[in-house]
Structure 1
Amino acid sequence: MSRNSITFIKFIRSLSTEARTIKVERIADELLNLNRFERHDFTVLWRLKMGLDRYGAPVAGPGPLGPSLSGPAAADATAASAEKTAFDIKLEKYDSAAKIKIIKEVRSFTDLGLKEAKDLVEKVPCVLKKGLTKEEANPIIDKLKELGATVVLE
């Protein structure tokens, strides 16, 4: 464990029950009520937002918690962090004649019901799916474009 992790754990242990906020307690309760798939989705999202790579090593950047780099090392680190790995599929517009087919397609790659998928498609421009790799997103985008939708990868 790193020194920062140990310090953080000691800090958390030193907090009394009274010092914990209702918000934190509510979040903890909600996390405990997640099913297995929701827990997996949460951990993936959490790791992305915390800047962790696949194996859990933190991505260090300049600032109080990470070392600052200069020279060629800084250019390499900036180039590596600029490369995007998670993409969102955004529906820009669609052909009104193909609306039903597009709703069915949206339902096929999301866990939405008919009403939710219809509402989502009708509020264009909107993000249909978040956090996909390019390999996962390309077949979906191709299918939606075949149906008459204008879709972008963000």
Structure 2
Amino acid sequence: MAKLSKKAQEILKAVEEMSVLELNELVKALEEKFGVTAAVPVASVSAVAPGETPAAEAGVAGAGEKATFDVILVAAGENKIAAIKAVREINQNLGLKEAKELVESAPKPVLEGAKKEDAEEAKKKLEAAGAKVELK
């Protein structure tokens, strides 16, 4: 790795310690602030086998193990308000209106491209709120 300034090293260290949810917030804030996108060009994705992520192709995950997961809200359950609160806790970029619309239009993804631990944590929060959830 190239030699970094002290400030760059501090930023790198802070990023290393962030959860997937926090990184997602940071990426969205950077995209908005600087008018850029962190989307992967479509041409580079086509080189990956169907059902595999680029990280899995690079050997980040174990053989046959998914590297990232999507948390899908299948149904809100009896207590829609608790489900909305859980969705907002998981995805802090959503306002009340957006979270309500997401819950009411289930099945919908709540969290995409998350590490296994973060996806399972989000699933537990939603299930505790009475929602039906899938990990894909």
TM-score by length of 2: 0.57
1:102 matched residue in structure 2: 83
Partners of 2:73 and 2:66 in 1: how far apart?
Answer: 20
1:128 matched residue in structure 2: 110
Q: What is the identity percentage for the equivalent residue pairs of Structure 1 and Structure 2?
A: 38
Number of aligned positions between the proteins:
95
- C-alpha displacement at 1:35, in angstroms? 5.0
Quick one: structure 1 residues 107 and 86, their matched pair in 2 at CA, closer, same or farther if it must change by over 3 Å?
same
Counterpart code for 1:137: A
Structure 1, gaps ≥5 residues long: 1-33, 61-78
Q: Aligned with 2:111: secondary structure? A: strand
- The higher relative CO (CA closer than 8 Å, separation ≥ 6) is in 2
2:40 matched residue in structure 1: 46
Structure 2, gaps ≥5 residues long: 1-27, 49-53
Quick one: structure 1 residues 85 and 99, their matched pair in 2 at CA, closer, same or farther if it must change by over 3 Å?
same
Partners of 2:82 and 2:76 in 1: how far apart?
Answer: 11
TM-score by length of 1: 0.51
The structure having more radius of gyration, on CA atoms, is 1
Structure with greater helix percent:
1
| RMSD of Structure 2 on Structure 1 (CA) | 3.2
Quick one: structure 1 residues 35 and 102, their matched pair in 2 at CA, closer, same or farther if it must change by over 3 Å?
closer
